[in-house]
Chains A and B, each alone.
Chain A
Amino acid sequence: GQQLNQSPQSMFIQEGEDVSMNCTSSSIFNTWLWYKQDPGEGPVLLIALYKAGELTSNGRLTAQFGITRKDSFLNISASIPSDVGIYFCAGQPWTGANNLFFGTGTRLTVIP
């Protein structure tokens, strides 16, 4: 299946810093989902976006559905050590499509 372009691949940041990552696609998407995965665990859904331009927050996390419908970004403000993990995006290319396309993941390391 198609993979989405996600960047950066990895980030090393100091505790308290803000983080930004994004996903892009060559096709238009109807849904963007952002997940976090801890080592040895399944991905946990953080934020779901359904409309172009939509901006949604979940605590210190904010995600936006790009106006072009071909991208999305995730911001984490004031990072803490438990933010460590792999973040990845997923998108649904059209309404009713059975499968999602996944980003390659951003590995976040937070240095205390």
Chain B
Amino acid sequence: DVKVTQSSRYLVKRTGEKVFLECVQDMDHENMFWYRQDPGLGLRLIYFSYDVKMKEKGDIPEGYSVSREKKERFSLILESASTNQTSMYLCASRSGPERDTQYFGPGTRLTVL
């Protein structure tokens, strides 16, 4: 079974702190994604990566950066956390292009005070 793990299930940070969210997948997938999920807004793509050291902006990249130094690991960085970044953050890993399937991690609930 594909496994996508995220470093923390719950995080509480203060405004202005630098925050790292880590995601690891064990299926040698090329593509990895970071989303945030908010009530009424659904899943919104922050950044994705299709290869090591490659990254592409998603729909809402402002205030975030990412790092993909190894194929299995994709990190989301909040350079200076703000209260409007309080959200559920979901990492995903995707096989493909044939029999394309995307798997999600368990999520990190981040609260910024």
Contact = CB atoms under 8 A, between A and B. Distances in A.
Interface stretch (B42-50, B64-72, B77-85): B42-50
Chain B interface size, as a band, is 20 to 34
A22 interface: no
A33 interface: yes
Given A42-B90, A98-B56, A99-B48, A92 B100 contact: yes
Contacts, number: 55
Nearest to B49: A98
A42 B96 CA distance: 21
Given A1-B59, A95-B97, A102 B43 contact: yes
Interface of B: 4, 6, 31, 33, 42-45, 48, 50, 56, 58-59, 88, 90, 96-97, 99-107, 109
Where chain A touches its partner, the secondary structure class is loop
Where chain B touches its partner, the secondary structure class is strand
Contacts of B42: 3, 88, 102, 104-105
10 contacts: A1-B45, A1-B58, A33-B102, A41-B107, A42-B107, A45-B103, A48-B100, A95-B97, A98-B48, A98-B50
